[in-house]
Structure 1
Amino acid sequence: MESKNLVICDPETKFASAFAQYLTRQKELAVRVRTCSDFSYVLAIQEKEKIDFLFISSEYPEDSRKQVKAGMVFVIAPEREVALENREVPIYKYQPGDQILAEMIRQCSMSGDEKQIFLKITGKKNCKVIAVYSPVRRIGKTTYAIRLGRKLAKEANVLYLGMETYGGEGGHFPEGTQTLADVLYYARQEQSNIGTVLTTIVRHSENLDYIVPMPVSEDIKEIDSEEWIRLIQKIIEQSIYEIVILDMDEGVRDIYRVLRICNEIHMLTIDEPVAEAKVAQFEAELELLGYEDVRRKIIRKEQRT
């Protein structure tokens, strides 16, 4: 799929650079981003190729902006209310990049062009789902899951989902306005495309993409296994991710059913009698309840004490 041309023109070069960096980190977007602080550069680009999306400062007068025949024009303004001509879309400058991108996607969806700005995923390889779980407590499970994700993300598109009762928002993960709870909400909507939703919600840790965990532990406990499975299936079918890592504990209802859809289960343990007893009980319970297939997917990962 040919990338769309997106140009950011703003005298405030720090803003243009920061927004451009944010856009280029969104792996799903099929856009080529360029920045400038001189309006003449926009006209020079237009002479050579079509500009599909133009983000331009309101400091440039309307007569100048009319010279650009871009597919969509977003006017970046320092105030929330600004009078523009019909074809222009106002964008409040001092807001997070994900909110600016969300407005761009909304405008594209209104014109029927939403899919044109995303990479096609029809040729994606089979997605691998890896669960990181342990019946042993305080064993460094989340640290292991993140390190694993960063390692795998060097060669593939990887998404980390923190599904623990206490996901540690503000610890491993900075606090965010949108969390895994928002992703689940959108996944419930029949018409939503989860790949589009993730574009505006995912954050990055080196090459690893992640979603900020839910801030309220009771919310995790209320979600049944079917909803988790539907979400994971949507991510597999509608996003660019080739690997999804699930960081789980017993807060996930019917956890064995969720583990069943995983390709691998990395089970952390330590060489210590109590820990070994817990692992043995867990594996025995899997067989007792008819989850032998889950037990066969377990890969033990012994941690140093």
Structure 2
Amino acid sequence: MGANIMAIYDLDGIYAERFMEYINRSKSIPFQVRAFSKKESFLEYAREEEIEILLVSERAVTEEIRRLPITHIIVLSEETYGTEEKNNEKTIYKYQSSDQIVREVMCYYAEQKNTTGHYGCAKEEGKIIGIYSPVRRSLKTTFALTLGQILSEKVNTLYMNLEEYSGFSSLFEKDYVGDLSDLIYFMNERSANLILKLQGIVQPMNQLDYVPPCIYPSDLKTISGEEWVSLLDDIRRKSSYRAIILDMGENIQGLYTLLGKCNIIYSPVREDKISMAKMYQYEKLMQMTGQEEILEKTKKLHFTYFRGVESGMDNLVYSDLGDYIRELLAEEEDEDG
């Protein structure tokens, strides 16, 4: 079965074409998009092809279009900001960023009980990369975000932060509508459409996608290890992400279970005496509790000073740390090859 079709019909042909190009460039949105600015050509196409979602401008929508056998019709409004019902129709504000429109469309689509389309499930399961260290202030998150951006240059990559205090809202100057807590809740309530909900929540960082972290630290403590595993399994098997990066803190349930799910674990460490003592205690605990397998797939990273990491998240790939990670990945490819 082919990809689901999303059609956009707008009298402004430039708007429709640009939106189509944006969606079709995306590697993770499970729709093929067709753009129309002429009523006759749109109607001809709609009568011959099965359209799952239609985005149609307020000025273009007619009763004839409403009667077409299209599963979901969403009106692009020039006046109403945000998603709401207007005249019993779903409306989305037209003049906002394409990625925000896509998020609103995916959230709405995922929440429809009768959504049963084909989502282009992955042919192979994604690789889970763990980032964890018992040592604080070790550039763990900076390393994880840089690694994610570099990997995303080659494969679809998803970053998830499982720390109590990520600081992302302040770091990226964004107020997130949905976050990791919403994704877990949705999985427990209606997991069949989980990947669509995921696409409605993720945010871009260059080519890397990331799930906004939990706002409330207490939310992380209510998510069981089994729920984390179920979420990861769904994403690996049903999405187009080939790499999933888990940036883990210490206070999540099922930490060892998550570490055990990882294909590889990067553990940044520092050279000072206290940091080395913490790492020694962690490794000793792993041995005492029979978690030698976790240690076997853990790669300790001894960092020094990296120039350029202070120049902003978008420039991390051009820093010394970015060069370090590229060399690290090249060495691993040689070892695997």
What TM-score, normalized by structure 1, do the two folds share?
A: 0.82
In 1, the alpha carbon distance for the partners of 2:133 and 2:65 equals: 58
Cα distance change of structure 1 residues 104 and 154 upon mapping to structure 2, 3 Å threshold: same
Q: How does 1:61-140 map to 2 (within 5 A)?
A: 62=62, 65=65, 72-77=72-77, 78-79=79-80, 82-83=86-87, 89-93=89-93, 96-97=100-101, 98-106=103-111, 110=114, 114-116=116-118, 118-121=119-122, 123-124=123-124, 126-140=125-139
Asked whether the equivalents of residues 165 and 221 of structure 1 are also in contact (C-alpha less than 8 Å), the reply is no
- SS of the equivalent of 1:143 reads helix
1:120 to partner: Cα distance: 2.7
The answer for the alignment partner of 2:185 in structure 1 is 185
In 2, the alpha carbon distance for the partners of 1:250 and 1:133 equals: 8
1:272 to partner: Cα distance: 2.6
The answer for the alignment partner of 1:144 in structure 2 is 143
1:19 to partner: Cα distance: 4.8
* Corresponding pairs, count: 294
The answer for the alignment partner of 2:229 in structure 1 is 229
In 2, the alpha carbon distance for the partners of 1:190 and 1:68 equals: 28
1:243 to partner: Cα distance: 1.7
Report Cα offsets for 1:78-109 as digits up to 9, x if no partner.
Answer: 4555447xxxx5423358422233334555x5
The answer for the alignment partner of 2:158 in structure 1 is 159
1:299 to partner: Cα distance: 0.3
1:212 to partner: Cα distance: 0.2
In 2, the alpha carbon distance for the partners of 1:115 and 1:199 equals: 15
1:138 to partner: Cα distance: 0.9
Cα distance change of structure 1 residues 130 and 101 upon mapping to structure 2, 3 Å threshold: closer
Cα distance change of structure 1 residues 194 and 182 upon mapping to structure 2, 3 Å threshold: same
1:238 to partner: Cα distance: 2.8
Cα distance change of structure 1 residues 46 and 190 upon mapping to structure 2, 3 Å threshold: closer
The answer for the alignment partner of 1:42 in structure 2 is 42
Cα distance change of structure 1 residues 67 and 39 upon mapping to structure 2, 3 Å threshold: farther
- SS of the equivalent of 1:189 reads helix
- SS of the equivalent of 1:170 reads helix
- SS of the equivalent of 2:257 reads helix
- SS of the equivalent of 1:76 reads strand
1:175 to partner: Cα distance: 3.0
Letter aligned with residue 155 of structure 1: K
Asked whether the equivalents of residues 269 and 301 of structure 1 are also in contact (C-alpha less than 8 Å), the reply is yes
The answer for the alignment partner of 2:316 in structure 1 is none
Cα distance change of structure 1 residues 178 and 14 upon mapping to structure 2, 3 Å threshold: farther
In 2, the alpha carbon distance for the partners of 1:66 and 1:194 equals: 28
Asked whether the equivalents of residues 128 and 243 of structure 1 are also in contact (C-alpha less than 8 Å), the reply is yes
In 2, the alpha carbon distance for the partners of 1:183 and 1:151 equals: 25
Asked whether the equivalents of residues 169 and 175 of structure 1 are also in contact (C-alpha less than 8 Å), the reply is no
The answer for the alignment partner of 2:294 in structure 1 is 294
Asked whether the equivalents of residues 55 and 76 of structure 1 are also in contact (C-alpha less than 8 Å), the reply is yes
Cα distance change of structure 1 residues 137 and 21 upon mapping to structure 2, 3 Å threshold: farther
Letter aligned with residue 180 of structure 1: L
Asked whether the equivalents of residues 179 and 211 of structure 2 are also in contact (C-alpha less than 8 Å), the reply is yes
The answer for the alignment partner of 1:7 in structure 2 is 7
Asked whether the equivalents of residues 74 and 92 of structure 2 are also in contact (C-alpha less than 8 Å), the reply is no
1:66 to partner: Cα distance: 6.6
Letter aligned with residue 253 of structure 1: Q
The answer to whether the aligner puts 1:267 opposite 2:270 as a matched pair is no
**Per residue, is there more helix in 1 or in 2?**
2
In 2, the alpha carbon distance for the partners of 1:279 and 1:188 equals: 36
Q: How does 1:241-252 map to 2 (within 5 A)?
A: 241-252=241-252
Letter aligned with residue 139 of structure 1: S
Asked whether the equivalents of residues 159 and 208 of structure 1 are also in contact (C-alpha less than 8 Å), the reply is yes
1:61 to partner: Cα distance: 5.9
In 2, the alpha carbon distance for the partners of 1:304 and 1:51 equals: 56
Structure 1, 95-104 or 293-302: larger mean CA deviation? 95-104
Alignment gaps of 5+ in structure 1? none
Cα distance change of structure 1 residues 254 and 54 upon mapping to structure 2, 3 Å threshold: closer
Asked whether the equivalents of residues 225 and 258 of structure 1 are also in contact (C-alpha less than 8 Å), the reply is yes
1:285 to partner: Cα distance: 1.4
In 1, the alpha carbon distance for the partners of 2:200 and 2:2 equals: 22
Cα distance change of structure 1 residues 3 and 224 upon mapping to structure 2, 3 Å threshold: closer
Percent pairwise identity? 27
Alignment gaps of 5+ in structure 2? 306-337
Cα distance change of structure 1 residues 196 and 72 upon mapping to structure 2, 3 Å threshold: closer
In 1, the alpha carbon distance for the partners of 2:275 and 2:257 equals: 23
